[in-house]
Structures are given as structure tokens and as C-alpha cells.
Amino acid sequence: MGTTYLAYDFPLLSAFWTMLWFFLWILWFILLFRIIVDIFRDDDMGGWGKAGWLAFVILLPFLGVLVYVIARGKSMGGREIKHARAQQQAFDDYVRETASGGTAAARPSHADELARLSELRTRGDITEEEFRRAKALVLGDDAPSASATTAADTGTGTGTGATSRQ
């Protein structure tokens, strides 16, 4: 009479089968949670549809997951890509906003910019003419005032201008 050897009769095969089942269970739970997240992420499905799929996946997990992957597996990837792109866009917008000086509340106000310009004029870093031009730009005037332009054209201004200093 011959004896039958099972995989568990050999210690190395026993460890292999144990590890295989362990990783299959981990894979199963990852798939189950991804499907549950996909059910909630789908904007096209209504509340009753989400409730039905969720009940099916939770009450009959193996059959529910198998049917969900067959019925809606192709669109799962599309929703995952859409979500990843939305996250990347939000991150890019955050980086751009932070790099450009933050929100509008964090940007200096007109009063802050005028105070800084006044301080530069007081220290002598800019001339009166440069101060007037910069003040006009800060206050929203696209062109400097007429008197400042004529003074610069006739050469009667007190300074040589920022472009001639460089």
C-alpha cells in the first residue's frame, strides 16, 4: 500500500502555500476596498445604484466583486485616471498659487506698495519722477501723469530715470 504525501508534509511547500494564501487574501481585500471606493467615486451612478452595488458587494462578496469587475471594470480605470488628473491639477494650482505669492489676502495692498515706494524715495534710491511713475502704476493708471511725461521729455526732471542708470 502506497502512502500519499500532501504539500504540508514538506516544510518548504507548507511555507510556500501559507504565503500564497496570505497574499491572495491581501489581494482580495485590496480589490474589495478599491471597488467600494469606486462605487462612491462614480458620479454617474445614483444613490440607489450605489446602495445596490454596495449591498451586493458586502453581502455576497465573492460573487459581488466578480460581477462588478465584469460589469463595470472597464470604466473603473477611467474613473481612477480622472481622479488622479484632478488631484494633479489641484496640486499644480496650489503650487502656482503658493509660488506667485499666495492668495489675494497675502499679496501686498496698494497702501503697502505706496509705503515701500515712499521709503525708497526718502532713502534716495529712486527719484521723484520714478516715484510718480511707480505710484501711477500702483494706483491703476496705465500711463504716468501728463506732467511727469512732459518733465521727462524736456529733461527738467530731477533724476535720470531707472533705465539710464543701468
Q: What is the 3-state secondary structure (H, E, C) of 24-45?
A: HHHHHHHHHHHHHHHHHHCCCC
Q: How far apart are CA 35 and CA 68, in angstroms?
A: 8
C-alpha pair distances (Å), 117 with each of 57, 95, 164: 66, 29, 19
Q: How far apart are CA 125 and CA 64, in angstroms?
A: 74
Residues 121/128, Cβ–Cβ less than 8 Å: yes
Burial letters for 92-128: b for 16+ Cβ neighbours within 10 Å, e otherwise?
eeeeeeeeeeeeeeeeeeeeebbeebeeebeeeebbe
pLDDT 10s digit of each residue in the chain, 166 long? Answer: 667 766 566 677 778 888 999 999 999 999 999 999 999 988 888 999 999 999 999 999 899 999 999 988 888 888 889 989 999 999 999 988 888 765 555 566 778 888 888 888 898 888 899 889 988 888 875 444 444 444 444 444 444 444 444 4
Q: How far apart are CA 19 and CA 12, in angstroms?
A: 11
Q: How far apart are CA 51 and CA 54, in angstroms?
A: 5
Joined together, the cell numbers standing for residue 17 give 502555500
